[in-house]
């Protein structure tokens, strides 16, 4: 039989003959097994929130051009649904999946099984209770109206404690790693796992629990909100890219030196950039200037990372056709370059004068959180889930649909809305144009966004179906040791395999 | 005003100093050498360099990929 | 590299630097800013919101007005905020001394509200606008806030507060639309939004 199969899981799950280092060999399967419950549990909950957040997103988007829709119930008024959408996606979906991916990567790279999976499942339940309480709080009118931190204080306590209980085990996995050498992904993961609780607790302390005075709140707010993206999602996204591109195509990263340079320049510059959200605002000039400079300096890590990833991929782009993980990851990596350079440009005062306060910023935010981070997380899940569930994705077609609907959906979202945003900004800066005209001219772009949203909703639904399907498949047919079959030979090769083993 | 200058100057000296110390340490202990080895950490005997590890389930594999062994002969 | 603690030290120091630089130092620099006396009127500025206006402020927060309305006027020559009449001068830190949280905002789907109390002082206008923005601003994408109003049968005497609605917005005969306390509080808050006093650091027109 000349059919080929994916070697990875098969090799991971069955001991090979020429066993030179037995401890390490056993570990890949052992690691995956130890991560199975907590990580799959996080992914499942994350996907539930993804679906909820998608519904809220569609509702928000629809309301933006049809304001009378479901407007008469206070719980569903625009100003509550919008932050509910953001917080569902950020804390329910993105952060939760990110933690799952981080745990798995941390264990794989450290070659150490995950400890206390059961305890982490408990903490994850606690985390989800926190998100639920927070979202209900926002819808009920308890939103703090502090962007990216809308969840009321009581939910923030739950989230923080739950986070600490989960993250401590990822740090412990790092501390007791059996592979002492560190790969760059571990740098990013360790940093993110440490930066997030600092950001979250400091911002909550200074804004919600015991607010500082006046516009200092603005500074704290954007130090936090910008860094949630820059020091929490971005490092985990980059850690995944640095792992999966080499891993999937089977070629080491182009330049390891560049990757360390990228890490330190990101760590140095990203966290100073947040106050560019307040250009022209009532802040001291030095504070804004510092952030503009830091935003410009961000070009260094971004270009470094872009070159490194591109050079790694060169000659291997054909593999995009064959690997779902690679498709999503490379799409995300390219988006990272685009969104970061765009972000730096938006800190230039003359451009900021136009794009600030418009839909351009919204498009930019989705390019970052969705086209970069979410797509990378999707890619990571396509790689991780089969290895934890010990079976292959049931439907390749659904994966294809997922990729194309979300990739085209986010493009259809970002490109028109950016154009609309620039037009809106230009009109707004021309005092001869009545304000209502600036509202009127954005409507077609807002309607387009709703269509883009529908497309992305299809993608998410399809992904959720595939996810439920892979978990719900009957285990009986997959008695371990499970040889893993990738190519279209489940049927006939299954019988063949029976003879082989 | 003086207090800001002291804080700023202090943190500048502290940050620059620690960065320089870290650099010196890295150079002395050879951290910047042999980065090729570190780049190989994601691979092992089971999944060595040159082997692709992710495919669409049930679809044809890349025709020339030497990394895909056949299941049976 | 295999030296975790050193890596951790770098991770710690980088965030520590920005935390100090972007939050602690601003707090030291202008976190203790005080009110000032306006020379012409002899009154303190800014004044804290109180009574109905401070209840209205909570409604502004709860219903997320910030997602479409900013409360900051950019300086003359940067954008057209002053030309549009959104303010008579740029906003400065002192304007926000009592605001918890500050509603600076990052989006202008709707106009800036820094000075809405001076720009549109009519209570009736605000109530009609909240009940259905199309009454006062045709083509607006602001949602109606009917949950701040009550439709009820006209009793022995029509309520003095009832909205005067005509044409396509008219209520069924025998009914009237009456603003709830919440609607009145919110309008009181909007009317309290005025940043029209010249300050030493922000003279009018700049």
Structural contact between residues C154 and C172, judged by C-beta atoms closer than 8 angstroms: no
Q: For residue A413, how far is the Cα from the chain centroid?
A: 17
Ordered by start, the domain boundaries in chain C are 36-192
Nearest CA to CA, how far is C161 from chain B (Å)? 55
Report yes or no: B22 at the C interface, CB cutoff 8 Å: yes
In angstroms, the CA A66 to CA A57 distance is 14
Share of chain A above pLDDT 70, in %: 89
Q: Which two tokens stand for residue A372?
A: 């970069």
Would you state the pLDDT for residue B34? Answer: 64
In angstroms, the CA A438 to CA A427 distance is 6
Candidate from A202, A214, A442 with C-beta closest to C97: A214
Beta bridge partners of C152: C176
The distance between the two most distant Cα atoms of chain A, rounded to a whole number of Å, is: 81
Q: Got the DSSP string for A52-121?
A: HHHHHHHHHHHHHH-TTTT-SSGGGSHHHHHHHHHHIIIIIIIHHHHHHHHHHHHHHHHT-PPS-HHHHH
Report yes or no: A491 at the B interface, CB cutoff 8 Å: no
A39-85 pLDDT, tens digit each: 999 999 999 999 999 999 999 999 999 999 999 999 999 999 999 99
Res. A494 pLDDT band, cuts 50 70 90: very low
DSSP letter assigned to residue C161? T
Report whether CATH 1.10.760.10 matches the domain C36-192.
yes
In angstroms, the CA A38 to CA A170 distance is 11
Nearest CA in chain A to B46: A11
Would you state the pLDDT for residue B31? Answer: 66
A438-475 pLDDT, tens digit each: 999 999 999 999 999 999 999 999 999 999 999 987 65
What are the backbone angles phi and psi of residue A125, rounded to the nearest 5°? -60, -45
In angstroms, the CA A21 to CA A273 distance is 46
Nearest CA to CA, how far is A304 from chain C (Å)? 19
ipTM: 0.93
Report yes or no: C28 at the B interface, CB cutoff 8 Å: yes
Candidate from A248, A318, A394 with C-beta closest to B53: A248
The answer to whether residue A437 scores a pLDDT higher than 60 is yes
**A474 prior amide bond cis, ω within 30:** no
Residues 6+ apart with CB under 8 A from C181: C55
Q: For chain A, count helices (H), then strands (E).
A: 19, 0
Report, as an integer, the average pLDDT of A10-37: 60
The answer to whether residue A253 scores a pLDDT higher than 70 is yes
First-to-last alpha carbon distance for chain B, in angstroms, is 80
Structural contact between residues C90 and C76, judged by C-beta atoms closer than 8 angstroms: yes
C69: left (phi over 0), alpha (psi -120 to 50) or beta: beta
Q: For residue A159, how far is the Cα from the chain centroid?
A: 18
Q: For chain C, count helices (H), then strands (E).
A: 7, 4
Ordered by start, the domain boundaries in chain A are 23-181
CB pairs under 8 A between A and C: 230
Partner chains of B (3+ C-beta pairs under 8 Å)? A, C
Would you state the pLDDT for residue A493? Answer: 37
Taken in order C180, C181, C186, C189, is the CA torsion positive or negative? positive
| Architecture (CATH level 2) of domain A23-181 | Up-down Bundle (1.20)
């Amino acid at each position: 039989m000349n059919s080929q199969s994916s070697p990875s899981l098969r090799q991971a799950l069955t001991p090979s003959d020429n066993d030179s280092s037995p401890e390490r060999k056993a570990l890949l399967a052992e690691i995956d097994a130890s991560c199975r419950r907590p990580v799959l549990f996080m992914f499942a909950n994350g996907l539930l929130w993804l679906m909820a957040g998608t519904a809220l997103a569609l509702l928000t988007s629809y309301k933006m051009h049809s304001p009378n829709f479901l407007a008469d119930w206070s719980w569903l008024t625009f100003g509550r649904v919008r932050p509910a959408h953001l917080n569902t996606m950020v804390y329910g979906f993105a952060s939760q999946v990110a933690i799952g991916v981080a745990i798995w990567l941390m264990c794989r790279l450290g070659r150490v099984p995950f400890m206390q999976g059961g305890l982490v499942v408990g903490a994850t339940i606690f985390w989800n209770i926190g998100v639920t309480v927070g979202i209900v709080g926002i819808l009920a009118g308890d939103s703090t109206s502090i962007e990216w931190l809308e969840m009321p204080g009581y939910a923030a306590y739950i989230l923080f404690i739950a986070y600490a209980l989960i993250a401590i085990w990822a740090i412990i996995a790092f501390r007791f790693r059996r592979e002492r050498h560190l790969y760059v992904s571990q740098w990013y993961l360790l940093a993110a796992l440490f930066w997030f609780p600092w950001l979250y607790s400091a911002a909550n302390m200074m804004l919600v629990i015991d607010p500082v005075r006046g516009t200092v709140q603005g500074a704290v707010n954007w130090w936090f909100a910008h860094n949630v993206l820059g020091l929490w999602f971005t490092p985990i996204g980059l850690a995944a890219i640095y792992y999966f591109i080499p891993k999937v195509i089977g070629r080491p990263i182009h330049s390891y030196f560049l990757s360390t340079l990228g890490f330190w320049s990101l760590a140095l510059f990203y966290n100073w950039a947040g106050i560019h959200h307040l250009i022209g605002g009532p802040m001291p000039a030095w504070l804004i200037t510092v952030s503009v400079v830091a935003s410009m300096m961000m070009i260094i890590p971004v270009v470094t990372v872009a070159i490194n990833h591109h050079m790694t991929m060169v000659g291997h782009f054909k593999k995009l056709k064959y690997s779902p993980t690679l498709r999503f990851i490379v799409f995300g990596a390219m988006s990272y370059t685009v969104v970061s350079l765009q972000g730096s440009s938006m800190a230039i005062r003359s451009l900021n004068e136009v794009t600030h306060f418009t839909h351009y910023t919204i498009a930019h935010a989705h390019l970052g959180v969705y086209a970069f981070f979410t797509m990378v997380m999707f890619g990571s899940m396509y790689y991780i889930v089969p290895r934890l569930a010990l079976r292959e994705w049931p439907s390749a077609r659904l994966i294809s649909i997922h990729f194309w609907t979300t990739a085209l959906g986010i493009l259809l979202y970002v490109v028109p809305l950016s154009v609309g945003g620039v037009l809106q900004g230009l009109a707004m800066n021309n005092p001869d144009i009545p304000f209502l005209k600036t509202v009127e001219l954005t409507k077609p772009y807002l309607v387009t966004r709703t269509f883009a949203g529908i497309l992305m909703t299809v993608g998410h639904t399809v992904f959720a179906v595939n996810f439920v399907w892979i978990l719900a498949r009957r285990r009986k047919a997959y008695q371990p040791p499970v040889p893993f079959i990738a190519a279209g030979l489940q049927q006939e090769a299954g019988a063949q395999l029976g003879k082989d083993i | 005003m003086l207090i800001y200058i002291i804080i700023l100057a202090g943190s500048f000296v502290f940050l620059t100093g620690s960065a320089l110390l870290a650099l010196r340490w890295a150079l002395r202990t050879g951290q910047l050498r042999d980065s090729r080895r570190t780049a190989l950490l994601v691979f092992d005997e089971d999944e060595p360099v040159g082997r692709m590890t992710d495919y669409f389930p049930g679809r044809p594999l890349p025709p020339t990929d030497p990394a895909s062994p056949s299941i049976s002969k | 590299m295999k030296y975790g603690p050193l890596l951790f030290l770098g991770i710690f120091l980088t965030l520590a630097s920005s935390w100090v630089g972007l939050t602690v130092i601003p707090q030291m620099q202008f976190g203790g800013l005080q009110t000032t006396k306006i020379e012409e009127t002899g009154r303190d500025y800014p004044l804290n919101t109180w009574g109905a206006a401070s209840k209205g402020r909570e409604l502004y927060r709860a219903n997320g007005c910030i997602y479409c309305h900013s409360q900051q006027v950019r300086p003359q020559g940067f954008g057209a905020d002053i030309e549009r009449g959104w303010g008579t001068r740029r906003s400065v830190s002192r304007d926000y001394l009592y605001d918890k949280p500050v509603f600076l905002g990052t989006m202008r789907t709707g106009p800036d509200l820094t000075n809405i109390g001076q720009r549109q002082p009519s209570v009736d206008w605000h109530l009609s606008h909240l009940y259905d923005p199309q009454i006062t601003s045709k083509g607006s994408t602001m949602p109606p806030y009917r949950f701040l109003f009550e439709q009820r049968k006209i009793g022995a005497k029509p309520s003095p507060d009832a909205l005067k609605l005509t044409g396509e917005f008219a209520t069924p005969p025998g009914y009237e639309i009456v603003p709830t306390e919440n609607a009145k509080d919110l309008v009181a808050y909007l009317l309290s939004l005025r940043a029209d006093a010249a300050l030493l650091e922000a003279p009018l027109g700049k």
